[in-house]
A and B are shown apart, each in its own frame.
Chain A
Amino acid sequence: MSGDPITLDEWWRAYQLYTDYTELLDTQRLDDWIHLFEDDCLVRVMSAENDKAGLPLALMRCEGVPGLRDRVHAIKEVSVYAPRTMRHVVSGLRLTRQGGDFLATASFVVTQSLEGAQTTVFASGVYRDRLTPAGDRLRFAEKVAVYDGDLVVNSMVYPL
């Protein structure tokens, strides 16, 4: 029932999804990371500036698992960039029901550490996601990472 309160078990399954998401992304196990998404998902990284103004342009836009595969392939095999470690910290996960799915919001902070350099805050923002049950787990049907600061630090190699 859409009006039913979120159970601890449901919240826990969502929390596990976010834990898998950040761990697989931060350890650069990107082929496994793709398994957290529905086949027809829409994944976007957007500036708060565009989001607030209702402008549709994203910084990264992956349509479905094929789109995610192209992005992952570029990261792993094609793009030229200095090696780096990213670290996601996710907090304040809140769920609401939408039909059989869940709408999830959470805050994130992402740090970036280039080799031989200091750790810097790369981005902060909010996830506005739609999670859908897949067996006894949840997967992302839609993921929007809205980042706060207008100016990206040079280049964004990994998704937020």
Chain B
Amino acid sequence: MRLGESTTNGHHAGPLGHTWPSADTSRIPHWVYTDERVFELEQKKIFGGPFWNYVALSTELPERGDFVRSWVGNQPVVVARTKSGGVSVVANRCSHRGMSFCMEERGNTKTFVCPYHQWSFDLEGRLTGVSFKRGVRGNGGMPEDFKLSDHNLTTYRTTERNGVIFASAAENPPTFEESFGPDMLHYFDRVFDGRELRVIGYQRHRIPANWKLVFENIKDPYHASLLHVFLVSLGLFRADQPSRVVMDATGQHAALVSRRGQQAPNDVTAQIKTFDERLVLNDSTMLQPAKEFPDENTVVMHTLWPNVMVQQQTNTLAMRHMAPRSAGVTDLLWTYFGYADDDEEMTLRRLRQANLQGPAGLIGVDDWEVLAYHQQGLASAPEETGVVEMGGRGVGNEEHMVTEAAVRAFYVHYREVMGW
């Protein structure tokens, strides 16, 4: 099957009685964003499917026994550095009564112990002990045929590439490399080139919008060149600059790639004046760039199906990890990082430039506010459809940013996975 052709006929009802309103993906029905049943089905087919969900950076778990809580879709998980030095991902849900046993965001431990009835598990999720298993002074206890090994925690398959940890609920997911393909691996390895990473901080916010809107926001360069006055006026990302939209063969992953025009590293002030005199930074240190990647691209926004965006905006590097909570609510968890060999000047540069994005970002605020009102509009008319025709109806790579091709390509893959 070629990308852009759908295996489903737009006129036959698919799962949940929904019918996609067009043969191609130039139309997107509002109900994909608003129907809680769709959300539940996505949890099974997408976040619980044969795909690799981002869960943590390896540098967050330097020592054996280190753990950090995370999310695979709406499922709470714990990521741990095991005794052997490997990585495990287990559901944060006790196999006894279902309690989310891990009550701390991060820490170090030898075993996971559920505080409710003290069932204990090793860091790979194997049940190793049950209190009162043999009863108390002849009273109670588990039945004779109770076997610890029947009650391990739900575990996830894990994979790690250059310091980034992914998990999959599927038994036999394709390899990470198969899932991402050479073009996407190129952009992935550009940031994650094997150097040790160093986390410089977290930002978290709850966005009252569907997770796909959060994802599409980074697949849609059309809006960026219009909505974000800051970005446009300062020349950080503009429709007239050299740019590309690149996808993998399936359309599930994408990278928006852009270059500042007339780039003059270490002298951003002159550029700002050239681009737009109406908006001049009083504090020009905020956006002073330093070239740190082999190519000339200054922005690469990389969306990795199904749950993470890797941001490189000048010198800010961040994982934007989505934890969808319901059809209309998404938690966006940001992990900003640099490299272990960054000097103080580079770290300061990353901290300053972080003003652009995030929950309080000079650009970011525009997005979160728009997404909230986008969701409100969609919820008021779930039967209507959105129009996604900028740049035509195709789903191929583009050498400009006046296009919604990556959104269309995303929905080709989405329809395939979901069955519409």
Contact = CB atoms under 8 A, between A and B. Distances in A.
Decide if A and B are genuine partners: yes
Interface string A72-101: 011000111110000000000000000000
B169 interface: no
A67 B282 CA distance: 6
A80 B203 CA distance: 20
A7 interface: no
Nearest to B233: A78
Given A60-B360, A63-B352, A70-B282, A155 B369 contact: yes
A57 interface: yes
Interface string A26-70: 000000000000000000010101100001111111111111011
A57 B364 contact: no
A59 B358 contact: yes
B204 A60 contact: no
Interface in B309-352: 331, 336, 347, 351-352
Contact of A61 (B206, B233, B354): B354
How many chain B residues sit at the interface, stated as a range, is: 35 or more
B281 interface: yes
Contact of B359 (A63, A82, A154): A154
A63 B359 CA distance: 19
B286 A70 contact: yes
A153 B205 contact: yes
B112 interface: no
Given A66-B283, A153-B205, A155-B205, A55 B351 contact: no
A134 interface: no
B137 to A, nearest CB: 45
Contacts of B229: 78
Contacts of A56: 200-201, 347, 351
B230 A78 contact: yes
B285 interface: yes
A81 B365 contact: yes
Contacts of B208: 154
A152 B202 contact: no
A150 B204 contact: yes
Contacts of B331: 151
Contact of B204 (A73, A81, A151): A151
Nearest to B227: A80
A57 B205 contact: no
A98 B323 CA distance: 44
B207 interface: yes
A47 B203 contact: yes
A57 B351 contact: yes
Nearest to B105: A49
A104 to B, nearest CB: 23
Contacts of A82: 369, 372-373
B199 interface: yes
A74 B351 CA distance: 18
Most buried by B among A59, A61, A67, A150: A59
Contacts of B336: 57
B368 interface: yes
B351 A153 contact: no
Interface string B180-210: 0000000000000000000111111111100
A153 B282 CA distance: 29
B370 interface: yes
Contacts of A63: 283, 285-286, 352
A152 B230 contact: no
Contacts of A6: none
15 contacts: A55-B200, A61-B355, A67-B282, A69-B283, A71-B362, A74-B230, A79-B366, A81-B365, A151-B331, A152-B203, A152-B360, A153-B205, A153-B206, A154-B368, A155-B369
Given A47-B204, A63-B285, 20 more contacts: A45-B360, A49-B105, A49-B202, A59-B358, A61-B354, A62-B283, A66-B282, A70-B282, A73-B279, A78-B229, A80-B366, A81-B369, A151-B204, A151-B206, A152-B360, A154-B368, A155-B360, A156-B359, A156-B360, A157-B365
